[in-house]
């Protein structure tokens, strides 16, 4: 059974409720180690009116204790969430755990706590000096993002042949797709042969270069009738039912291009996976839900359960 470190996320949000309510379910598949100390766990459980399972493994000396304020953005909860994440990473580095799963943080709380990263993925890139790839989705469809949390006006200038080629290579090596990967164009109609933009020329060349590199010395990839990547697809039809039935993995050029259709289709069950790292990290693909935290709401656990099951299937 895999041992998984679970960083607890923002304790003013719903993460700790998810952890407590689903412990019995996930403990049948993994050996979870929760990066929260007993003081904070007992406080959260009391506020939630939940019983702490007898086999709920915790750790001490995470960060200073604080008073949980449901649905509130503050530096104390941000500092604790970051410290919990860092502890999980350290355990994975020294191989005391097989992988990590992260519960939701609040980026503004991290900022208030003086954390210089915008989120988990930014931090992971720095910690491991690696170009972590953000992939989101579920077994029905995964979407990887070439650019992530940048202003839309900066996307076009960020698309260059060298970086996109390396991204495609790294993605193929680490996602291990079993069907052709669908690559989206940037412009309406995928540029209409240059009439509506020429970024697709760059994307086409990156696909060509990545394909050549991946097939070099690997005869098993030499399948001319099933290319490794599609040419740049027209974005507004790429996620229609007839197109989706051919692909399990998509690469989007920017955040909302890939995540708007993904969340419209599979919001409740989607997860976040960090690829191209020396450790495996998954996360729920939803936020802290401050509006319902500590209010006795019935939480949808599909994303959390799927994040755990991705680890058991891929580590």
**pLDDT tens column, 128-164:** 999 999 999 999 999 999 999 889 999 999 999 999 9
Res 208: pLDDT: 97
Identify the bridge partners of residue 99 per DSSP, sorted by sequence position. 4
Please write the tens of the pLDDT for every residue from 77-124. Answer: 999 999 999 999 999 999 999 999 999 999 999 999 999 998 999 999
Which residues lie across from 229 on neighbouring strands?
181
What is the pLDDT at residue 72?
A: 96
**Average pLDDT, integer, range 270-279:** 96
Q: What is the tens place of the pLDDT at every residue in 56-67?
A: 999 999 999 999
Q: What is the pLDDT of residue 194?
A: 82
User: How many degrees, rounded to 5, is the angle at CA 11 between CA 7 and CA 17?
Assistant: 85
Task: Write down the pLDDT at residue 127.
Answer: 96
* Residue listed under structure tokens 């070439």: 146
Please state whether the predicted TM-score (pTM) of the whole model is above 0.85.
Answer: yes
Work out the percent of the chain whose per-residue pLDDT is above 90.
Answer: 91
What distance in Å separates the CA atoms of residue 142 and residue 262, rounded to the nearest whole number?
8
What's the Cα-to-Cα distance from 246 to each of 1, 148, 203, 241, 257, rounded to whole Å?
34, 25, 20, 9, 19
Q: What is the pLDDT of residue 221?
A: 73
Cβ-based neighbours of 211, under 8 Å, separated by 6 or more? 227, 228, 229
End-to-end CA separation in angstroms for the chain? 11
- How many residues make up the chain in this entry? 315
- Look at residue 222 in the predicted model and tell me its pLDDT: 60
Dump pLDDT digits (tens) for 214-263. 998 776 776 666 899 999 999 999 999 999 999 999 999 999 999 999 99
pLDDT tens column, 166-202: 999 999 999 999 899 999 999 999 878 888 889 999 9
- Residue 225 has a pLDDT of 66
Query: In the prediction, which pLDDT does 315 show?
Result: 74
Q: Which two tokens stand for residue 13?
A: 């949000």
Q: What is the pLDDT of residue 193?
A: 82
């Amino acid at each position: 059974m895999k041992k998984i470190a679970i960083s607890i996320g923002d304790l003013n949000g719903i993460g700790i409720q998810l952890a407590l309510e689903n412990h019995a379910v996930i403990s049948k598949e993994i050996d979870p180690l929760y990066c929260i100390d007993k003081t904070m766990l007992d406080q959260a459980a009391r506020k939630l009116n939940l019983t702490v399972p007898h086999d709920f493994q915790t750790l001490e000396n995470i960060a200073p204790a604080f008073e949980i304020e449901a649905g509130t953005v503050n530096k104390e909860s941000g500092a604790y969430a970051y410290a919990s994440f860092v502890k999980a990473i350290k355990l994975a580095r020294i191989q005391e755990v097989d992988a990590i799963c992260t519960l939701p943080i609040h980026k503004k709380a991290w900022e208030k706590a003086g954390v210089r990263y915008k989120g988990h993925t930014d931090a992971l890139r720095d910690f491991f000096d690696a170009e972590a790839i953000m992939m989101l989705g579920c077994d029905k469809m995964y979407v990887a993002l070439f650019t992530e949390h940048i202003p839309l006006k900066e996307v076009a200038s960020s698309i260059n042949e060298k970086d996109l080629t390396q991204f495609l290579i790294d993605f193929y090596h680490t996602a291990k797709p079993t069907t052709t990967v669908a690559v989206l164009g940037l412009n309406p109609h995928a540029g209409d042969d240059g009439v509506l933009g020429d970024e697709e020329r760059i994307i086409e060349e990156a696909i060509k270069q990545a394909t050549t590199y991946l097939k070099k010395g690997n005869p098993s990839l030499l399948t001319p009738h099933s290319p490794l990547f599609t040419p740049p697809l027209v974005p507004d039809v790429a996620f229609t039912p007839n197109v989706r039935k051919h692909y399990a993995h998509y690469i989007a050029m920017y955040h909302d291009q890939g995540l708007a259709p993904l969340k419209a289709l599979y919001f409740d069950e989607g997860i976040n996976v960090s690829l191209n790292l020396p450790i495996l990290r998954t996360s729920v693909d939803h936020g802290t839900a401050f509006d319902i935290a500590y209010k006795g709401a019935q939480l949808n656990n599909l994303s959390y359960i799927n994040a755990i099951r991705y680890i058991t299937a891929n580590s």
